[in-house]
């Protein structure tokens, strides 16, 4: 079976020094999952060509079908994603005429001319295509290498999200596994996680298409509170939902006499 794997490479010192929470990766992880891709890894690297390019090369070596990077596409000295991408792919890093047109139009509207720092926004690996950025100045980058599709998006969440939804999502849907994803949550109060563990084992052995993950949520009084997140994928939403409901029912039957259950 073909595996539709995806990886996210998040670029930016601010993510490593703890200045910025990586909500972009969370948002993209969810989008990719709902499109039926398996997100296998998120790698956060600093604004350095060596580090960015090695993270991309490693994802390529793991045969990721889709690699999405965020950050490092702007005009300042520390925006190095495009150059690092060219380096990782062994491609020339050149001004892309289509991208230059997009960038020129942006700045013309502001009454600004094309400086060195602005032309840099149009430099891309030689076989790349620009992705328009309706909310900002830096175009995104789309480039293929072997069986991998690499998409570089800006780090500003508003720009990244708009570009993904407008230009990337439909492309990934077309190329993707066309699987539906379904999830549900139950809250179980009154048994510790270590007592729930054998029940989870048991249900996952019976309903092999679901994944059940327990998340301890602290306690209320002396009662431990555990959230169970049940997920599944299927050819249709109905199929995925059926697996989740089946697992949910089995869990509830196993614990209902021992605990209080709140359905999500």
User: Which stretches of the chain bind its own copies, using CB under 8 A?
Assistant: 10, 12-23, 25-33, 39-47, 51, 55, 58, 74-78, 107, 110, 112, 115, 117-118, 121, 136-137, 156, 158, 192-198, 200-201, 204, 211, 213-216, 218, 229, 231
Min CB(59)–its own copies separation in Å: 11
Residue 109's alpha-carbon distances to 36, 90, 163, in angstroms, are 40, 35, 20
Residue 188: CB atoms within 10 A of its CB come to 26
Min CB(229)–its own copies separation in Å: 6
- 143 within 8 A of 127, measured Cβ to Cβ: yes
> Rounded to 10 degrees, what is the CA torsion of 93, 27, 251, 255?
130
Min CB(202)–its own copies separation in Å: 10
Min CB(181)–its own copies separation in Å: 8
Q: Which is nearer to its own copies, 127 or 176 (CB)?
A: 176
Q: Which is nearer to its own copies, 1 or 110 (CB)?
A: 110
Q: Which is nearer to its own copies, 93 or 107 (CB)?
A: 107
Min CB(92)–its own copies separation in Å: 23
Min CB(180)–its own copies separation in Å: 14
Q: Which is nearer to its own copies, 38 or 127 (CB)?
A: 38
Min CB(258)–its own copies separation in Å: 13
- 186 within 8 A of 250, measured Cβ to Cβ: no
Instruction: Give phi and psi for 15, each to the nearest 5.
Output: -75, -30
Alpha-helical (H) ranges within the chain are: 13-16, 23-34, 49-61, 81-88, 97-109, 116-119, 157-163, 169-175, 193-206, 237-255
- Residue at token pair 């069986």: 147
Q: Which is nearer to its own copies, 23 or 90 (CB)?
A: 23
Distance CA(178)–CA(156), nearest Å, equals 29
- 161 within 8 A of 221, measured Cβ to Cβ: no
Q: Which is nearer to its own copies, 78 or 249 (CB)?
A: 78
Three-state SS for 246? helix
Q: Which is nearer to its own copies, 66 or 143 (CB)?
A: 66
Distance CA(79)–CA(73), nearest Å, equals 5
């Amino acid at each position: 079976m073909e595996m539709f794997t995806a990886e996210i490479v998040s670029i930016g010192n601010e993510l490593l020094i703890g200045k910025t929470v990586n909500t972009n990766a969370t948002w993209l992880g969810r989008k990719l999952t709902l499109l039926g891709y398996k997100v296998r890894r998120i790698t956060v690297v600093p604004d350095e060509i060596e580090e960015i390019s090695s993270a991309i090369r490693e994802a390529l070596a793991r045969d990721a079908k889709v690699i999405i990077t965020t950050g490092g596409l702007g005009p300042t000295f520390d925006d190095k994603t495009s150059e690092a991408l060219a380096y990782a792919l062994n491609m020339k890093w050149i001004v892309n005429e289509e991208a230059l047109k997009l960038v020129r139009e942006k700045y013309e509207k502001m009454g600004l001319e094309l400086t060195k720092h602005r032309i840099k926004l149009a430099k891309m690996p030689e076989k790349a295509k620009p992705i328009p950025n309706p909310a900002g100045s830096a175009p995104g980058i789309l480039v293929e290498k072997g069986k991998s599709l690499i998409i570089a998006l800006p780090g500003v969440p508003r720009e990244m999200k708009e570009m993904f939804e407008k230009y990337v999502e439909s492309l990934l849907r077309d190329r993707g596994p066309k699987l539906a994803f379904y999830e549900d949550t139950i809250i179980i109060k009154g048994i510790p996680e270590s007592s729930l563990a054998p029940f989870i084992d048991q249900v996952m052995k019976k309903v092999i298409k679901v994944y059940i993950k327990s998340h301890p949520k602290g306690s209320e009084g002396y009662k431990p509170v555990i959230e169970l997140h049940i997920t599944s994928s299927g050819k249709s939403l109905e199929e995925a939902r059926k697996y989740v409901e089946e697992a949910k029912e089995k869990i509830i039957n196993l614990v209902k006499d021992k605990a209080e259950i709140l359905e999500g």
